[in-house]
Structure 1
Amino acid sequence: MLSAMRICTKQMRGIYSMAMRANSTATGGYETLAVTVPKPFVYHVELNRPKRFNAFNKTLWIELQNCFNELSNNADCRVIVISGSGKHFTAGLDLQDAMTMGQELAEHDDIARKVRYLNRTLKISQDSITSLETCVKPVISAVHSACIGAGVDLITASDIRYCSKDAWFQVTEVDIGMAADVGTLQRLPKVIGNMSLVRELCYTARKFKSDEALNCGLISKVFNDKDSLIKGAVELADEIAQKSPVAVQTTKETIVYSLDHTNQEGLDYIRLQNQVLLQSEDFINACMAQATKGEKPVFAKL
């Protein structure tokens, strides 16, 4: 058995070495996103509208969902880092694009048709943000400078949030005469666990900086600058990517499921999952490595 496991491990190292040679390979072909592979099994997704400070237009909403749906099913991807190119992480909603939406809405005279149009449009935005949560791969947000409006929606749907010292955050929707409608009001209370602070931030649209974001639990680590932030996020992603993808992805799915279910329902869910997954080669190989103090196992693609 040990001999077979050594052969399997050797084969997996060969796969890992091949992946290493694919380091920094670009992928995707998106208009508003830049996707690279800085480490084996680690994908880096950048919001890539720097001239518009990565503001969310219709194309970005759609491409973001398509990208995360694709990566969720990509066996070469185990962890995703998301950041923003240029001066800011994101300026939030692209108001010019929103004006176009207003013009399209005005083309409908009947209220039922206006409502149907708005329902479809808002659902696209909601599903775009939710795609980070439903993606089975862990998502690490790396925030620098401004993270406004839709940016807060985006990072609260991710698994882990890092930022640079110059980062600042703002739930701006009330300042443009609307209530946040793509995830902040649902996820931010669960992320920071302080309803008083959540309501203050959402009612006032005030800015809050990296130190306050760290103290309230929105952010788990602050870096000196953007370069060290991206480096730290990729290093964390690389560490996670070397773990069993069976274990990591099941862990994420169970955490997400348990957020909206009772403790017992969450326990029932993972019990059913592990009836299958504890028979995986990942469990056997990891246990053997721990028991023998041997080399770190290299896991096959999932």
Structure 2
Amino acid sequence: MSAPDATQPVAGLPELVSLQVGLDGPVAEVRLLGPGKGNAMGPDFWRELPQVFAALDADPRVRAVVLTGSGKHFSYGLDLPAMMGSWAPLLAGDALAGPRTEFHGEVRRLQDAVSSIAACRKPVIAAVSGWCIGGGVDVITAADVRLASADAKFSVREVKVAIVADIGSLQRLGSIIGEGHVRELALTGKDVDAARAERIGLVNEVYPDQDTLLAKARELAAEIADNPPLVVQGTKQVLAANTERQVAEGLRYVAAWNSAFLPSKDLQEAIQAFLERRAPEFKGE
């Protein structure tokens, strides 16, 4: 799969670690790089994502954006070991208001990073191959259109690690796939293949392989870019008005919820099991 054309840099961007950005005519391409395995989302990603989409929003040359992963996968989701430092004060014993307030701010920061995709006035097409787990689903639900290759697999997996998903999936998926499907995926944490993702409307189209997927995503972005740019931006903003208040209220609520209720023996067990590569044993404590 060819890399984005980096000969046309996007204005206003610092040197990036977790994302690669290129511009081919009016279409920008953003690629997740990791550096964690499977493009896992660590501190660099959460810092750089809003910087990138603010720059794309501000660059008048950009009329559409393709968002994809590098390598075989879109993203394994949150890089748990890399992000644990911000959680440690909350999980250390009986956390009082200070650690809970700091954690609440951290959740809101991650939410805002993902919301920068939805807030970008330029339409965003997510092209998904391989695994798209947890935070990966948060990211693609903030995009305008989702496409997949036949090997794509999706999972709202937070429940499996004793966490209420809090970065956007629970707030945005309902308007994409409907409440029944959201509840099934979020309450089970099950994996969904590309064929079912297409059936329930999570993705618009499924293509046979990664190269075809990216070519089709670029074609769709170019088709959008051919339309009057201010009208395209206005259409995206008017469509967003249908759900943005509900999404914003849901994000505020879940940030407060997790700041109050996230610490648990089950979460500690989930983390320990993850580090020890074994199945967790949850006890509702």
TM range (shorter): 0.7 to 0.9
CA contact (8 A) 1:82 1:140 kept: yes
- Which whole-Å CA distance do the structure 1 matches of 2:244 and 2:89 have between them? 36
Q: Does the alignment pair 1:76 with 2:61?
A: yes
1:131 is aligned to 116
User: What's the counterpart of residue 228 of structure 2?
Assistant: 244
CA contact (8 A) 2:17 2:35 kept: no
CA–CA distance in structure 2, aligned partners of residues 260 and 222 of structure 1: 27
Q: TM-score, normalised by structure 2?
A: 0.79
Name the structure 1 match of 2:21: 35
| Distance in 1, Cα, partners of 2:59 & 2:89 | 36
Counterpart CA distance in 1 for 2:162 and 2:131 is 20
Q: Does 2:97 match 1:97?
A: no
1:181 and 2:162 aligned: no
Farther-moved stretch of structure 1 (164-173 vs 114-123): 114-123
Aligned match of 2:250:
none
CA contact (8 A) 1:145 1:166 kept: yes
User: What SS does structure 2 have at the residue aligned with 1:158?
Assistant: coil
Is the CA contact (8 Å cut-off) linking 1:108 and 1:114 kept in structure 2? Answer: no
CA distance in 2, matches of 1:150, 1:60: 11
- Distance in 1, matches of 2:183 and 2:168, equals 14
Change (3 A) 1:51 1:120: closer
Amino acid at match of 1:46: R
* Displacement after TM superposition at 1:137 (Å): 0.3
Task: Call closer, same or farther: CA 1:178–1:261 in 2, change over 3 Å.
Answer: closer
Greater shift after overlay, 105-114 or 165-174? 105-114
**TM alignment of 1:148-297, pairs within 5 A:** 148-193=133-178, 195-260=179-244
- Establish whether residue 25 from structure 1 lines up as the match of residue 7 from structure 2: yes
Structure 1 CA distance, aligned partners of 2:88 and 2:100?
A: 14
Unaligned stretches of 5+ residues in structure 2? 247-285
Asked if structure 1 preserves the Cα contact closer than 8 Å seen for 2:87 and 2:103, the reply is no
Question: 1:50–1:87: 8 Å Cα contact kept in structure 2?
Answer: no
In the aligned structure 2, how far is the partner of 1:138 from the partner of 1:127? 18
Which of 25-34 and 128-137 deviates more?
25-34
Q: Structure 1 219/110 Cα, relative in aligned 2: closer, same or farther at 3 Å? A: closer
RMSD: 1.9
Seq. identity, %? 38
Q: How many corresponding residue pairs? A: 238
- Native 8 Å contact 2:148 2:194 kept in 1: yes
Aligned 8 A contact 1:149 1:171 in 2: yes
- Flag the structure with larger Rg: 1
Per residue, is there more helix in 1 or in 2?
Answer: 1
Given the alignment of the two structures, is residue 61 of structure 1 paired with residue 46 of structure 2, yes or no?
A: yes
The 1:31–1:181 alpha-carbon spacing in structure 2 relative to 1, beyond 3 Å, is same
SS at match of 1:142: strand
Report deviation, 1:83. Answer: 0.2
Indicate the SS of the match to 1:258: coil
Deviation at 1:86, TM superposition (A): 1.3
Q: Deviations over 1:18-61 (max 9, x none)?
A: xxxxx652534211000112x31100000111552111112201
Given residue 237 of structure 2, which amino acid in structure 1 is its aligned partner? E
Cα distance in 1 for residues equivalent to 2:184 and 2:89: 34
Q: Which runs of 5+ in 1 are unaligned?
A: 1-22, 263-302
The answer to whether the Cα contact below 8 Å between 1:26 and 1:35 also exists between their aligned partners in 2 is: no
1:50–1:86 contact (8 Å) kept in structure 2 = no
In the alignment, residue 25 of structure 1 is paired with which amino acid? T
Whether the 8 Å CA contact 2:36–2:79 is kept in 1: the answer is: no
Task: Please report how far the alpha carbon of residue 97 of structure 1 lies from its aligned counterpart in structure 2 after TM superposition.
Answer: 1.5
The secondary structure found in structure 2 opposite 1:76 is coil
